Amino acid sequence: MTTTHRTTALVWFRRDLRLADNPALAAAVRHADHVVAVYVHAPEEDGAWRPGAASDWWLHRSLVRLDADLQRRGISLTVRRGASSAQALAELARETGATHLYWNRLYEPAAAARDERLEAELTAQDVACESFNGGLLSEPWELLNSQQAPYRVFTPFWRALQARLDGLPPPLAAPKRLRGPSPRGVSIDSLGLLPRIAWDAGLAERWVPGETGAHERLEAFCDTALARYDEGRNRPDEDDGSRLSPHLHFGEVSPRQCVVAVRNAVMPTMDRPATKASAEAFLRQVGWREFAHHLLHHFPHTTEAPLDERFERFAWQDDAALLQAWQRGRTGYPLVDAGMRELWTTGWMHNRVRMVVASLLVKNLRQPWVAGARWFWDTLVDADLANNTLGWQWTTGCGADAAPFFRIFNPVLQAERHDPRRVYLRRWLPELARVPDEWIHRPWQAPAAVLAEAGVELGVTYPRPVVDFGESRRAALAAYAQIREPVAAAKARSGMAERGPRRTSGR
């Protein structure tokens, strides 16, 4: 081998922070003698949705792990920051003599547009670019309904996706050995991703970011909670969720790896109905993730605008105090407050509770769903623009295949149903811990003696409800009635009104 024939490829890591089942990395190893692994920090390029503090915390840890994993295989991660990703990568290509640039695709509107421009720029500078699907089971544009239009309903989308799963190629192995230069970069610490004040103890206690942590989580889930997932996923008091969402978001594990692991795990006991239902329920959740990316690709404006245009006119009541009470876990509704505190402390919230807190914010407090989406965006370690957008629009009732607006969760009933022993409430609301099961999820209704005995003083040690549930529910339904008419019909009618009333009957 001579240096004249040596080819060097850049692998641009973004949210595919893993070595196994990484198509871009595999392509680089296949086509080039030398591989340069690079991460470019340019959060401004994410526009209005640059990652929040919890997400940054995770990113820092995941990058550290990726660097260590690469070093074990012979190269290190070059971290750069610059005026733009394109400029940083062009410079790096010049420094290393790289002729190829590989990456795995992203689907957020800002990132996708950036990648498209970048590809044109780099190609013009004689760097051959190639991108891959490393993050989804199916590309968002591959699945279309019979009218060749994007799906707007989950079930037919899921059917179409499932039909393709049998032909899913097996995950790619991690390269055993990597060689190539490791050009100078900045340190991961210098990116300023970690919090300046140490609020992250709860996160560090609960999560192990990085590829190894992701696979340990996947294995642990397959070994234990998977078998009872169908029931267990609705129990915030148990630890029966997969908790894979942040690992999937950062690409520390691929959805393909998850599907294969789950199938292998349930194969021996597939004859048991509970196992079958649980495996299907989990795969369905992976399917919702795919659906979210499908929708974000086809309807990129939905990150801040409702897919259902009627909701442009919805009478939100912007109220900073109500929003803040919700954010801080001081709404007076224990299940909601427990969830919001779990979120703040751990960077995560049980999915069932996410629906309940979102319903209260949007319907009972009547705050705009984007305000909730922004808060989740900044506080969740699994904050993902596609999932977050779909989740909030779904709960609001303004999105694709959305829950009907009038589906308004009652936090008291939800607590009774899904936290029967009140374990979840006591874990996150120490000030209510001594209130008995009968009253802890609705302390404002408890007899004074019970509260006194438990050391609770409403309005002092724990807030009274910031709004009355029944009253605010009725107000929300009334606000919904105002916009219920389809936009087209409303326009037609106001058009007629301008021309004066037109009587076509009743003579």
Partner DNA sequence: TGAAATGTTGGGGCG
Partner DNA sequence: ACGCCCCAACATTTC
**250 vs 480, beta carbon nearer DNA:** 480
479 lies in the site for DNA, by CB under 7 A: no
394 to 413: interface string for DNA, x by CB under 7 A: ---------xx-xxxxx--x
Torsion of CA 455, 456, 461, 462, to 10 degrees: 150
Q: Is 15 exposed, middle or buried (0-12, 13-18, 19+ CB in 10 A)?
A: buried
Residue whose structure tokens are 């006194």: 452
Report, in Å, the least distance between residue 403 CB and DNA: 5
Binding flag, residue 477, DNA (CB under 7 A): yes
How far is Cα of residue 2 from the mean position of the Cα atoms in its chain? 47
The distance between the two most distant Cα atoms of the chain, rounded to a whole number of Å, is 96
Nearest Cα residue to 252 out of 297, 223, 220, 218:
218
Q: Which is nearer to DNA, 58 or 409 (CB)?
A: 409
- Among 18-26, 61-69, 220-228, 475-483, the segment contacting DNA (CB under 7 A): 475-483
Which run of H or of E encompasses 359?
helix 351-359
Q: Kindly tell me which of 92 and 353 has the beta carbon lying closer to DNA.
A: 353
Is 288 a residue that touches DNA (CB under 7 A)? yes
Size of the residue set binding DNA (CB under 7 A): 20
Amino acid found at 457: E
Q: Tell whether residue 282 is a contact of DNA (CB under 7 A).
A: no
Comparing CB distances to DNA, the nearer of 209 and 255 is 255
Minimum CB separation of residue 288 from DNA in Å reads 5
> Are 99 and 11 within 8 A, CB to CB?
no
Q: Closer to DNA by CB, 141 or 406: give it.
A: 406
**In the bound complex, what is the minimum distance in angstroms from residue 199's beta carbon to DNA?**
30
Which burial class, exposed, middle or buried, applies to 313 when counting CB atoms under 10 A from its CB (0-12, 13-18, 19+)?
exposed
Which x/- pattern, by CB under 7 A, does the window 138-167 give for DNA?
Answer: ----------------x-------------
For DNA, the closer CB: 217 or 352: 352
Going by their DSSP bridges, the two strands 77-81 and 34-41 should be labelled as: parallel
Q: Is 313 in the site for DNA (CB under 7 A)?
A: no
Strand pairing partners for 41? 81
Stretch near DNA under the rule CB under 7 A, chosen from 4-12, 142-150, 251-259, 468-476: 468-476
- State yes or no: residue 481 binds DNA (CB under 7 A): yes
Does residue 13 interact with DNA by CB under 7 A?
Answer: no
Q: Does 314 bind DNA (CB under 7 A)?
A: no
> Does residue 355 belong to the site contacting DNA (CB under 7 A)?
yes
3-state secondary structure labels for all residues of 61-73: HHHHHHHHHHHHC
Whether 417 contacts 330, CB under 8 Å:
no
The per-type count for the chain, helices as H runs and strands as E runs, is 22, 5
Burial of 182 (0-12, 13-18, 19+ CB in 10 A): middle
Residues that bind DNA (CB under 7 A): 154, 288, 352, 355, 403-404, 406-410, 413-414, 417, 469-470, 473, 477, 480-481
